[in-house]
Amino acid sequence: MPTQHVTILTGLLCAATAAAAQNPVRATTDTTITPAMVARGDSIFHGQIGGAACFGCHGTDAKGVTGLAPNLTSGKWLNGDGSLAAIAQTIEKGVPHPKQAPAPMPPKGGAKLLPSDVLAVAAYVYSLSHPKATRP
């Protein structure tokens, strides 16, 4: 490969790495879940925006599809502690080796979600088992 191409590829890789470092999904205990976040997450979850189709495996009511994906409304968490941060991390990284499902969940559900989209979906999922989280 010519040196010029290597330099260009190296520059692109460095730019992509820097962009990812500046825009990681951050959900902490001080993250405020707003009704707007939950509404956006609902739209993403149901495939209306963002290219995600979470409902395909988790069901339109998010109660899971038997033998495919778990219930997200029960408060039982298989891949974390049920906190907003843990849910966001699960969405971001996916579930390559599910504990109770036959197929893995790809990172971001296989969609090209922005960090803010991942956090919105996490807020929506969090609200399903913590209904008082978004009430004023």
Helices (H) and strands (E) in the chain, counts: 5, 0
> What does the pLDDT average to over 73-84?
92
pLDDT tens across 83-121, in order?
Answer: 999 999 999 999 999 988 888 999 999 999 999 999 999
62: left (phi over 0), alpha (psi -120 to 50) or beta: left
Q: Which alpha helices (DSSP H) does 52-96 contain, by range?
A: 55-58, 84-93
The pair of three-digit structure tokens given for residue 71, joined into one six-digit string: 């219930």
Q: Any idea which fold 33-134 has?
A: Cytochrome Bc1 Complex; Chain D, domain 2 (1.10.760)
* Residue 90 per-residue DSSP state: H
Asked if 70 and 101 touch (Cβ cutoff 8 Å), the reply is yes
Beta bridge partners of 69: 65
Express as a percent the part of the chain with pLDDT over 70. 75
Q: Which residue has the higher pLDDT, 1 or 15?
A: 1
Question: Which residue type is seen at 134?
Answer: T
The structure's pTM equals 0.76
Q: What 3-state DSSP class applies to 74?
A: coil
Nearest to 126 by CA among 60, 81, 59, 65: 81
Predicted local confidence at residue 67, as pLDDT = 85
Q: Is residue 53 predicted with pLDDT exceeding 50?
A: yes
User: In what helix (H) or strand (E) does residue 41 lie, and over which residues does it extend?
Assistant: helix 35-45
Q: What is the mean pLDDT of the chain?
A: 80
Q: Is residue 73 predicted with pLDDT exceeding 90?
A: yes
Q: Is residue 47 predicted with pLDDT exceeding 70?
A: yes
pLDDT tens across 12-31, in order?
Answer: 333 333 333 344 455 555 57
Nearest to 92 by CA among 106, 78, 82, 80: 106
